[in-house]
Amino acid sequence: MRKRQLGIVVSAAFFLCAAGLAFAEDGAATFSSSFEALWGRITGQRTPPNVTMSNGRIEAQQMLISAKFAGRLAEFFFEEGRIVEAGAPIARIDTAELDEQLVGASAQVRRSQAGQIGAQAALARRDGELALARLDFDRVRLTTEKGTGTAQQLELCRVQVEVAATARRAALASRDAAQAATDAARAEVARVQSLLDDAVLRAPRRGRVEYSLAQPGQFLAVGAPVATLLDLSDVSMTIFLPARAAEQLSIGDEARIILDPLPQYVVPATVSFVSGEAQFTPKAVETQVERDSLVFEVRLKIASDLLKSYETWIKVGVKGLGYVRTDPSIDWPIGLRAKLPP
């Protein structure tokens, strides 16, 4: 029994070493053949040489829900792990002080509006006085031209017109000042109302509340994180492929993902990104041979409508394998045809 186990271990080690050495010597071509051999051992089937794979892990966009102004956290509306819709309230900052400011700003708006009404009435009076002074001036001018009026009366009327015009300009300035005061008061109301609206921290998009990073009663600084939200509509797996494989891929090509915890299912995906620059394989890759090889980053994205049907299954960081076809005209082998949970 021990000899049999030892033989299996030695055979597996020999296979992995041979695959690694072949990859180092001949790059992508032997990578595909090594994959084909590995696939054959796993499934007992022969896979087309135009399908290649790499290990990766599930990634999703994580967003921070942060406080827009300093204040005390009043309450949370959702527990960790709950799925929320876009715009749903996540938490609320205490607004007692802002409520008082809003009352004061609203009162100032009413006072300014009353002052504006008074200024408008004063302007109307000045308009009437100026119109009357001009009528008197025109009447005296006609009588002076006919010889029944005096130059002194005409000059007096001219002065009265100038005085009335000056008074009207002052009333117009008072009316404009009252309007500006009303506008400033309304702007203050809008500012305070905006802060009140921002006191309710909302989900920027549909997703899962991952972690609460603050507790009710805790004082928050400006920009302090309150919770993390996982965007369930943008989930992908990043893999790294050699140049010969990556250069044959295009955005929108079909791909497949098999997760380690659920090897019985095959998740359909599409190529959403192919790096235009080579890099060294990340240190997460175990073998030194692969770490020393130049590869290209490729991102496999899962369709958002499919994600919505299985969003309770989504777990960030889950490892698995990503598969792509370097020749999209070939059919997927039976073991890589899409198969989803019921």
CATH of 19-61+231-336 among 3.90.870.20, 3.40.190.180, 2.40.30.170, 2.30.30.360: 2.40.30.170
What span, in angstroms and rounded, lies between the C-alpha atoms of 227 and 207? 12
pLDDT for 266 equals: 93
For 157-179, how does the pLDDT look when each residue is reduced to its tens digit (9 = 90+)?
Answer: 889 999 999 999 999 999 999 99
The fold of the 63-95+200-227 domain, in CATH, is OB fold (Dihydrolipoamide Acetyltransferase, E2P) (2.40.50)
For 67-136, strand residue ranges (E) read 71-76, 83-84, 89-93
Confidence label for 284 from pLDDT (cuts 50, 70 and 90): low
CA angle 188, 189, 190 (to 5 degrees): 90
Long-range (24+ apart) CB contacts under 8 A made by 17-24 are: 20/287, 20/289, 20/290, 21/289, 23/242, 23/289, 23/290, 23/293, 24/289, 24/292, 24/293
For 233-270, how does the pLDDT look when each residue is reduced to its tens digit (9 = 90+)?
Answer: 889 999 998 888 888 898 999 999 999 999 899 999 99
Q: 237, 59 in Cβ contact below 8 A? A: yes
Q: 69, 97 in Cβ contact below 8 A? A: no
Q: State yes or no: pLDDT of 29 exceeds 50.
A: no
**Sole residue written with tokens 């506008």:** 183
Confidence label for 280 from pLDDT (cuts 50, 70 and 90): low
**Helix (H) or strand (E) run with residue 149 in it:** none
Phi-psi region of 312 (alpha: psi -120 to 50; beta: other; left: phi over 0): alpha
For residue 98, give both structure tokens: 């802002």
- DSSP class of residue 313 equals G
